[in-house]
């Protein structure tokens, strides 16, 4: 174990049965309630590491299309990908075999490339294939360097990690399915947003820009990365209600009559009606945005005349993103405004049409927004 001592790893005593049970129950409770794939990989790696007293544990997933093993989380290293036939993990995957090694450098299957990059020294290794409910190998657990005085993984370690792999396979399969469903929702939402805008002669890049601006505003306002991403995904549906507005109103180049404008306003209620019954978080968020992105801070907006923080933050954010893009873009009824004119309008409408704090946020991150404007130009 001199190599392990050289890197100052603290040795441990084998776990008592009650300690093992505590670890199992702790991580099972975390994993059972978690849908985020990144966090699942972290919890599963932590569970394997703590359960068998490994220094490091990585959970690799197999991408059959790219022929790669990948991990979003690995102890002590950044996110990694590697060819699925490389190293001990690749061998265990391809052969669907468990691997026990006391000294990795004496095994020809070991790939020392990562050790050479990081300065770490791999000695003992345990690799367990992970299978889905159909018995297909979907990845591997790889544990490195046993932290007991003998430095060697045992048969009990294999059994414990196999138990963790069996449970992890089921949880991962469920999470991957949820991820696929969410990705499908994202694609449908964006496509429907494009359809809604195309009816009024807008381009698909308008909804793309509004989505990108909304995320930047949300992050700079202080919302979490996950909630900011949710707004980005949901905001393309802000004008989906336009699908029910007659063409002669949507495409009218001149000013709308009072009656025509009233009909145009109905797109907020129509969009809300289309989306509000969904139980999916993304679509519920899209419903809020479709309904409230024309409300105004001073209560003079539509459809409900909401005022101030009665307007959901998602609606307030999308309102600024949508108006900004409308002003700096050519439309059937106007030419694009120059940037100074746009900035002056937002300053004038601070606390009138728009949330004053969000206007300050918008002006503070304007350079970042302009980069996105150019990146997704029509």
Give SS3 for 298.
coil
Residue 63 has a pLDDT of 86
- Taking the C-alpha atoms of residue 333 and residue 102, their distance in angstroms, rounded to an integer, is 74
- Taking the C-alpha atoms of residue 54 and residue 143, their distance in angstroms, rounded to an integer, is 6
Residues designated as active site: 242
Per-residue pLDDT of the chain (378 residues; tens, 9 = 90+): 444 434 445 677 777 878 877 887 788 778 777 777 777 788 888 888 998 899 988 888 888 889 988 886 555 556 678 888 888 988 999 999 999 999 999 998 888 887 888 788 999 999 999 887 777 888 898 999 999 888 899 988 888 888 888 777 777 776 666 665 566 666 667 766 766 665 555 555 888 899 999 999 999 999 999 899 999 989 988 988 888 888 788 778 778 899 999 999 999 998 898 888 887 788 899 999 999 999 999 999 999 999 999 999 999 999 999 999 999 987 766 788 999 999 999 999 999 999 999 999 999 999 999 999 999 987
Element (H, E) at 341: helix 339-348
Q: What is the CATH number of domain 2-177?
A: 3.30.450.40
Q: What is the pLDDT of residues 333-345, one digit of tens each?
A: 678 899 999 999 9
May I ask the CATH class of domain 199-375?
mainly alpha
Contact indicator for 145, 56 with CB cutoff of 8 Å: yes
Spell 8-35 as b/e; 16+ CB within 10 A means b: ebeeeebbeeeebeebbeebeebbeebe
- Taking the C-alpha atoms of residue 276 and residue 133, their distance in angstroms, rounded to an integer, is 35
Structural domain spans, the chain: 2-177, 199-375
- Taking the C-alpha atoms of residue 75 and residue 59, their distance in angstroms, rounded to an integer, is 10
Sheet strand arrangement including 80-83 = 80-83, 68-71, 54-63, 137-146, 125-131, 99-101
Residue 107 tokens read as: 């095994």
How deeply is 287 buried, as exposed, middle or buried, from its count of CB atoms within 10 A (0-12, 13-18, 19+)? Answer: buried
- Taking the C-alpha atoms of residue 30 and residue 25, their distance in angstroms, rounded to an integer, is 9
Within 10 A of 276 (CB to CB), how many other CB atoms are there? 14
């Amino acid at each position: 174990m001199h190599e392990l001592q050289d890197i100052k790893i603290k040795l441990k005593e084998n776990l008592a049965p009650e300690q093992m049970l505590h670890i199992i129950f702790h991580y099972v409770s975390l994993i059972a309630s978690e849908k985020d794939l990144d966090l699942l990989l972290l919890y599963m790696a932590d569970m394997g590491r703590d359960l068998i007293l490994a220094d490091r544990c990585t959970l690799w997933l197999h991408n059959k299309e790219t022929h790669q093993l990948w991990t979003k989380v690995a102890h002590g290293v950044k996110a990694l990908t590697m060819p699925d036939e490389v190293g001990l993990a690749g061998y265990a995957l391809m052969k669907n075999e468990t691997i026990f090694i006391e000294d990795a450098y004496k095994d020809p299957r070991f790939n020392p490339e990562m050790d050479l990059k990081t300065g770490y020294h791999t000695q003992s290794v345990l690799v367990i294939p992970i299978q889905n409910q159909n018995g297909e190998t979907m990845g591997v657990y790889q544990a490195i360097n046993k932290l007991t005085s003998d430095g060697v993984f045992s048969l009990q370690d294999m059994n414990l990690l196999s138990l963790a792999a069996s449970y992890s396979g089921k949880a991962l399969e469920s999470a991957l399915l949820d991820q696929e469903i969410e990705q499908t929702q994202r694609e449908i939402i964006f496509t429907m947003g494009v359809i809604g805008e195309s009816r009024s002669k807008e381009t698909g890049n308008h909804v793309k820009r509004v989505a990108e601006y909304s995320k930047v505003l949300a992050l700079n306002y202080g919302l979490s990365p996950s909630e900011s991403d949710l707004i980005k995904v949901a905001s393309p549906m802000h004008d989906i209600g336009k699908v029910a507005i007659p063409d002669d109103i949507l495409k009218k180049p001149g000013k709308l009559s009072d009656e025509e404008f009233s009909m145009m306003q109905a797109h907020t209620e129509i969009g809300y009606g289309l989306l509000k019954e969904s139980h999916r978080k993304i679509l519920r968020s899209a419903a809020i945005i479709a309904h409230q992105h024309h409300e105004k801070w001073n209560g003079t907006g539509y459809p409900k005349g909401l005022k101030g923080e009665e307007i959901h933050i998602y609606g307030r954010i999308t309102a600024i993103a949508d108006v900004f893009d409308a002003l700096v873009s050519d439309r059937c009824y106007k030419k694009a405004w120059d940037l100074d004119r746009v900035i002056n309008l937002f300053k004038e409408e601070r606390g009138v049409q728009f949330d004053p704090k969000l206007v300050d946020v918008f002006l503070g991150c304007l350079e970042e927004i302009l980069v996105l404007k150019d990146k997704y130009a029509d």
